[in-house]
């Protein structure tokens, strides 16, 4: 909870609405001294203490704050898990030694978070549940392996974190501390309160362990640099990234690996952490590639990296690591070209995002707008190179347009006789008189791929509908995606070549034709 450092000296309570009653969910020290506690209705609280500073609960902001603290905690260990609503688990296995020992890590963490204005209860133990149980009662406890039972036993039951009802039930049975419950036979507890409580109890006592679920996947390689004095200038940041890239590549090189995803985290002195991620189509094995990708990304940031009062730590981590086979390149220029193209695509992608750098893959369909799908070039370059496009007939003029409109443009046509091919049409305020026209090429939509259309729910039964068909259009809402299309190639007097289609089959699907311009030929 944030420390209330405002001038307002009144007791602070946070309230939310539960079952139509405004209930206190959190209190500060002053309010606690006035005997207010979570769960008390606000009206009762005002009776006890009329001078109250009431704040509405904001769960989203709480979650955001917790996430920010979790980000900051990344500096101690890469394995940080959330324990909502206001807890965090840090797996410090093997990390404590980097900070001296567990004790100094704990004080370091509490002190730094305290400076940011948080009130922290922290504990170190061999299982997450045991540590959490300890934090509910005392702060700064370190429970060594094998001493869990002794440490946890004297604590009151609520520290266990079981549900309200369970605790009430246990109290009623005369069990007041965790130790009271622990001396019972497990099967008694299970029979009365379920297996969940038994499992929780065993974890609190260190008899069994449950893994935490970290927020981020563990990076394969991590290098970091801490600064005694915060740094803020671009030059220092760039040279630090260069240095870190050098270290990272050197450590990956030992095992012959290259990274596909790199993340730079910038830890600001005031606790804010910003991360920048770059991806590469091929595993990165060169220091200058890393530096260049990050430079592109930093240049292109919409809101530039705000150093505030400076960064006290910069970290570079690599994930999606792959084994790199050092291929002997022959004098085949195409292979070298491909490498250069891949590097170029990575650089452009780092600057403008992967959904803006595309290659096309052919699809097995005859519906023109689905004939090719665009996919990010970074991931699918090789697939695009291998793909097989349909062979074209020799001696034929192009039958498919060069440019196609995402939404076919509706046009008004004139035709010498009804339902005939058009003699001209109006498009974008210009009339095009057609000289050549060829068609129709009929394209039927893929009815075998469409999901089944459910019959429209009607208050009357189907027999009635069949006897009394609705007047007017055969179908009220025409599904344009299912209509047959008849395509025409057409050329106007100036030599512009169009691809037009009319929608539907007369009588069966539509009563009136609509015409569209789908694309333009060269």
Partner 1 sequence: MSSARVRTLATLRKALVGLETMGGPDAGRVALGHAEVDAMLRGGLARAAIHEVFAEGRFSSTATGFVAGLAQRVADHRTILWIRQDFAAREAGDLAMTGFAELGLDPRRIVVVFAKNAEMVLRIAADGVACRGVGVVIAEIWGETKAFDLVASRKLTLASSDSGVICLMLRLGASPRASTAETRWIVSSAPSPPVAEWEAWGEPVFDVQLVRNRHGATGRWIMKWACDECIFRESFSKQPTAHSQPLVTAPVDRPDQALAYARRQVG
Is 402 a residue that touches partner 1 (CB under 8 A)?
Answer: yes
Is 405 a residue that touches partner 1 (CB under 8 A)?
Answer: yes
Give helix 287-300 / helix 234-254 axis angle, nearest 10°: 140
- Using DSSP's 3-state secondary structure scheme, residue 488 falls into strand
Binding to partner 1, residues 488-507 (CB under 8 A) = 489, 491, 493-497, 505-507
At its nearest, how many Å lie between partner 1 and the CB of residue 291? 16
Is 348 a residue that touches partner 1 (CB under 8 A)?
Answer: yes
Is 99 a residue that touches partner 1 (CB under 8 A)?
Answer: no
Q: How far apart are CA 493 and CA 380, in angstroms?
A: 43
Is 423 a residue that touches partner 1 (CB under 8 A)?
Answer: yes
Query: Is the Cα torsion angle 276, 280, 283, 286 positive or negative in sign?
Result: negative
At its nearest, how many Å lie between partner 1 and the CB of residue 393? 9
At its nearest, how many Å lie between partner 1 and the CB of residue 237? 22
Specify the stretch interacting with partner 1 by CB under 8 A; choose among 179-187, 207-215, 227-235, 329-337. 329-337
Q: Give all strands of the β-sheet with 53-56 in edge-to-edge order.
A: 21-27, 12-18, 53-56
Instruction: Pick the closest to residue 513 from 476, 485, 490 (CA basis).
Output: 485
At its nearest, how many Å lie between partner 1 and the CB of residue 93? 44
Is 352 a residue that touches partner 1 (CB under 8 A)?
Answer: yes
Is 50 a residue that touches partner 1 (CB under 8 A)?
Answer: no
Is 431 a residue that touches partner 1 (CB under 8 A)?
Answer: no
Is 347 a residue that touches partner 1 (CB under 8 A)?
Answer: yes
* # residues contacting partner 1 (CB under 8 A): 77
Query: Is the Cα torsion angle 464, 469, 471, 473 positive or negative in sign?
Result: positive
Is 486 a residue that touches partner 1 (CB under 8 A)?
Answer: yes
Which residue from 34, 295, 439, 514 is in contact with partner 1, where contact means CB under 8 A?
A: 439
Instruction: Pick the closest to residue 305 from 386, 379, 238 (CA basis).
Output: 238
Q: How far apart are CA 415 and CA 144, in angstroms?
A: 91
Specify the stretch interacting with partner 1 by CB under 8 A; choose among 44-52, 123-131, 250-258, 419-427. 419-427
Judge whether 424 and 413 are in contact, CB under 8 Å: yes
Is 303 a residue that touches partner 1 (CB under 8 A)?
Answer: no
User: Facing residues of 226 across strands?
Assistant: 313
Which is closer to partner 1, CB of 33 or CB of 370?
Answer: 370
Is 514 a residue that touches partner 1 (CB under 8 A)?
Answer: no
At its nearest, how many Å lie between partner 1 and the CB of residue 475? 16
Which residue from 2, 403, 412, 511 is in contact with partner 1, where contact means CB under 8 A?
A: 403
Query: Is the Cα torsion angle 137, 143, 145, 148 positive or negative in sign?
Result: negative
Judge whether 153 and 177 are in contact, CB under 8 Å: yes
Is 288 a residue that touches partner 1 (CB under 8 A)?
Answer: no
Judge whether 514 and 502 are in contact, CB under 8 Å: yes
At its nearest, how many Å lie between partner 1 and the CB of residue 217? 30
Which residue from 161, 274, 360, 445 is in contact with partner 1, where contact means CB under 8 A?
A: 360
Is 440 a residue that touches partner 1 (CB under 8 A)?
Answer: yes
Q: Give the H/E segment covering residue 16.
A: strand 12-18
- Using DSSP's 3-state secondary structure scheme, residue 81 falls into strand
Q: How far apart are CA 405 and CA 462, in angstroms?
A: 40
Is 398 a residue that touches partner 1 (CB under 8 A)?
Answer: yes
Specify the stretch interacting with partner 1 by CB under 8 A; choose among 41-49, 61-69, 218-226, 379-387. 379-387
Judge whether 10 and 50 are in contact, CB under 8 Å: no
């Amino acid at each position: 909870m944030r420390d209330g450092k405002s001038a307002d000296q009144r007791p602070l309570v946070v309230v939310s609405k539960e079952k139509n009653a405004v209930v206190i969910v959190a209190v500060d020290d002053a309010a606690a001294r006035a005997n207010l506690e979570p769960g008390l209705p606000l009206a009762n609280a005002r009776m006890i203490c009329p001078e109250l500073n009431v704040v509405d609960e904001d769960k989203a902001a709480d979650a955001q704050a917790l996430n920010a603290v979790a980000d900051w905690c990344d500096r101690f260990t890469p394995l940080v898990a959330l324990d909502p609503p206001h807890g965090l688990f840090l797996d410090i296995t093997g990390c404590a030694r980097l900070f001296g020992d567990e004790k100094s890590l704990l004080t370091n963490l509490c002190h730094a978070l305290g400076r940011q204005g948080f009130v922290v209860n922290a504990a170190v133990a061999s299982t997450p549940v045991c540590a959490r149980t300890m934090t509910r009662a005392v702060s700064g406890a370190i429970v060594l392996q094998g001493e869990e039972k002794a440490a946890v036993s004297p604590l009151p039951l609520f520290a266990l974190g079981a549900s309200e009802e369970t605790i009430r039930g246990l109290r009623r049975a005369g069990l007041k501390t965790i130790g009271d419950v622990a001396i019972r036979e497990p099967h008694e507890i299970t029979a009365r309160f379920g297996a969940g409580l038994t499992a929780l109890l065993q974890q609190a006592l260190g008899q069994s362990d449950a893994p935490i679920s970290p927020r981020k996947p563990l990076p394969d390689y991590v290098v970091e640099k801490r600064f005694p004095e915060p740094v803020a200038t671009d030059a220092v940041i760039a040279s630090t990234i260069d240095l870190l890239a050098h270290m990272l590549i050197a450590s990956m090189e030992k095992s012959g690996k290259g990274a596909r995803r790199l993340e730079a985290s910038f830890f600001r002195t005031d606790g804010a952490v910003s991360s920048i991620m770059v991806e590469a189509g091929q595993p990165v094995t060169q220091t200058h590639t890393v530096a260049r990708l990050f430079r592109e990304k930093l240049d292109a940031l919409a809101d530039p990296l705000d150093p505030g009062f400076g960064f006290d730590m910069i970290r570079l981590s690599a994930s999606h690591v792959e084994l790199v086979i050092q291929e002997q390149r022959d004098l085949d220029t195409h292979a070298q070209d491909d490498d250069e193209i891949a590097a170029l695509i990575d650089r452009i992608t780092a600057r403008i995002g992967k959904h803006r750098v595309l290659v096309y893959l052919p699809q097995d369909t005859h519906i023109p707008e689905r004939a090719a799908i665009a996919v990010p070039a970074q991931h699918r370059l090789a697939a695009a190179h291998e793909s097989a496009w349909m062979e074209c007939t020799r001696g034929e003029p192009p039958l498919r347009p060069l440019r196609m409109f995402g939404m076919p443009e509706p046009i008004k046509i004139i035709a010498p006789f009804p339902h005939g091919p058009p003699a001209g049409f109006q498009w974008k305020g210009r009339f095009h008189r057609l000289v050549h026209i060829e068609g129709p090429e009929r394209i039927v939509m893929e009815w075998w791929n469409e999901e089944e259309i459910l019959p429209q729910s009607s208050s009357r039964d189907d027999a009635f509908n069949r006897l009394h068909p609705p007047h007017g259009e055969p179908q009220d809402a025409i599904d344009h995606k299912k209509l047959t299309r008849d395509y025409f190639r057409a050329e106007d007097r100036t030599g512009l070549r169009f691809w037009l289609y009319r929608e539907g089959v007369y009588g069966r699907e539509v009563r009136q034709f609509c015409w569209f311009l789908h694309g333009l030929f060269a």
